């Protein structure tokens, strides 16, 4: 029996406002400063991920909540433009769409977040039939979803019973607690996508390679994202690394989410793991070439063309 969707994710619906150039450090005493530039665009790890899977041609649906405001409309509009099914994003009068305001200076960012719609979805409002209609479920922003997080063991147990495969990108834990709960879901995860710091924190190891081997004992398909160093994974007991291509980086917002999506495009199409990692790297790298999380994302035809250029063979 065919499934209606390739990918489902619970969305951390929000907007990113990125401020850069000039003196971006605010000063109290009502000082006014002039900044060089800003970008306003859809944010949210899961929604950025969903845009990328949809652009690669995977049938993608997002479950979530949005405020009845212009930011909520912006998020839904951007998702639709990418081809994401947004009918399960519930617009609510009683909440505001979340925002992340990032002050960008050199390679660093200071971020102020208003949670709002990011963590407004209640477990009772999750349409379970949508999850069972998908081939794959992706979890992002695990540590930001306080309402849903305690229910993930139940939700993932259900998903697995319905033949849904699962990937996890925890992203950063703002409380830096890391462990205590995540152990209850790792058994359901088929693909784990931490970056280096997240992996070491979750595995309670200083050394990345040791942490990776430890993670692989639980989730053999653990792929570690290493920023401009690319990524690494374990293949037949041996650690392999895949480098990135040279790009002009504007900002790295959403690079990890684009990586996850590129990898899963390959994996859900039955490609070998190394190829999947290469696709992840290409999607991650190219996403850094434009401001914000989604403008630099590749469509499937771009990915095929760039893959051919880089690897001198068809994807």
Ligand X SMILES: Nc1ncnc2c1ncn2[C@@H]1O[C@H](COP(=O)(O)OP(=O)(O)OP(=O)(O)O)[C@@H](O)[C@H]1O
Q: Which is nearer to ligand X, 188 or 233 (CB)?
A: 233
Among 65, 141, 170, 231, binds ligand X (CB under 6 A): 231
Q: Which is nearer to ligand X, 89 or 261 (CB)?
A: 261
Extract the tokens encoding 259. 């990586």
Compute the distance between CA of residue 91 and CA of residue 87 in angstroms, rounded to an integer: 10
140 Ramachandran zone, left/alpha/beta (phi>0; psi -120 to 50):
beta
Q: Which is nearer to ligand X, 51 or 95 (CB)?
A: 51
Q: Which is nearer to ligand X, 186 or 249 (CB)?
A: 249
List % helix, strand, coil for the chain (3-state, nearest 5): 35, 25, 35
Compute the distance between CA of residue 5 and CA of residue 136 in angstroms, rounded to an integer: 8
Among 57, 153, 220, 227, binds ligand X (CB under 6 A): 227
Residues in contact with 262: Cβ distance below 8 Å, sequence separation at least 6, in sequence order: 52, 56, 276, 279, 280, 281, 282, 283, 284, 298, 303
Q: Which does 165 bind (CB under 5 to 8 A by kind): Mg ion, ligand X, none?
A: none
Nearest-CB residue for Mg ion: 256
Contact 234, 220 (CB under 8 A): yes
Q: Which does 249 bind (CB under 5 to 8 A by kind): Mg ion, ligand X, none?
A: ligand X
Q: How far is the CB of 272 from Mg ion (least distance, A)?
A: 24
Q: How far is the CB of 249 from ligand X (least distance, A)?
A: 5
Residue 284, interface with ligand X (CB under 6 A)?
yes
Could you tell me which stretch among 24-32, 115-123, 158-166, 256-264 binds ligand X (CB under 6 A)? 256-264
Which residues 165-224 are close enough to bind ligand X by CB under 6 A?
A: 171, 195
Among 60, 167, 171, 287, binds Mg ion (CB under 5 A): 171
Site string for Mg ion, 252-291 (x = CB under 5 A): ----x-----------------------------------
Helix (H) or strand (E) holding 37: strand 35-42
Compute the distance between CA of residue 172 and CA of residue 155 in angstroms, rounded to an integer: 21
Extract the tokens encoding 55. 């652009």
Tokens 């050199």 appear where? 106
Q: How far is the CB of 224 from ligand X (least distance, A)?
A: 8
Residue 113, interface with ligand X (CB under 6 A)?
no
Return the beta strands (E) in 68-180 as ranges.
Answer: 89-92, 98-105, 108-114, 134-140, 165-169
Residue 230, interface with Mg ion (CB under 5 A)?
no
Contact 153, 182 (CB under 8 A): no
Q: Which is nearer to ligand X, 72 or 254 (CB)?
A: 254
Question: Which pairing describes strands 231-235 and 224-225: parallel, antiparallel, or unpaired?
Answer: antiparallel
Instruction: List contacts with ligand X (CB under 6 A).
Output: 171, 195, 225-228, 230-231, 244, 247, 249, 252, 254-257, 259, 281, 284-285, 288
Instruction: List contacts with Mg ion (CB under 5 A).
Output: 171, 256
């Amino acid at each position: 029996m065919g499934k209606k969707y390739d990918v489902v994710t619970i969305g951390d619906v929000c907007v990113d406002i990125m401020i850069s150039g000039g003196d971006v450090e605010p000063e109290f005493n009502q000082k006014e400063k002039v900044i060089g530039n800003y970008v306003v665009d859809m944010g949210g790890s899961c929604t950025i991920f969903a845009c990328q899977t949809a652009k690669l041609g995977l049938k993608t649906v997002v479950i979530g909540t949005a405020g009845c405001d212009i930011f909520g409309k912006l998020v839904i509009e951007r998702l639709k433009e990418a081809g994401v099914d947004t009918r399960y994003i519930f617009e609510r009068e009683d909440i505001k769409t979340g925002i992340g305001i990032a002050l960008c200076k050199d390679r660093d960012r200071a971020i102020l977040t208003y949670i709002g719609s990011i963590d407004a979805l209640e477990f009772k409002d999750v349409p379970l039939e949508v999850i069972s209609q998908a081939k794959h479920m992706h979890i992002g922003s695990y540590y930001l979803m306080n309402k849903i997080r305690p229910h993930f063991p139940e939700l993932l147990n259900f998903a697995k019973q319905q033949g849904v495969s699962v990937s996890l990108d925890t992203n950063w834990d703002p409380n830096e607690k890391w462990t205590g709960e995540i152990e209850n879901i790792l058994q359901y995860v088929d693909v784990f996508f931490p970056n280096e710091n997240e992996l070491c924190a979750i595995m309670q190891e200083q050394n990345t390679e040791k942490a990776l081997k430890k993670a692989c004992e639980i989730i053999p398909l653990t792929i570690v994202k290493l920023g401009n160093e690319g990524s690494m994974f374990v293949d037949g007991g041996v650690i392999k690394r895949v480098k990135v291509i040279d790009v002009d980086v504007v900002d790295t917002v959403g690079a990890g989410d684009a990586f996850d999506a590129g990898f899963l495009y390959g994996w859900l199409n039955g490609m070998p793991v190394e190829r999947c990692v290469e696709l992840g790297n290409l999607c991650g790298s190219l996403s850094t070439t434009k401001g914000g999380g989604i403008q630099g994302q590749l469509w499937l035809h771009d990915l095929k063309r760039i893959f051919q250029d880089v690897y001198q063979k068809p994807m």
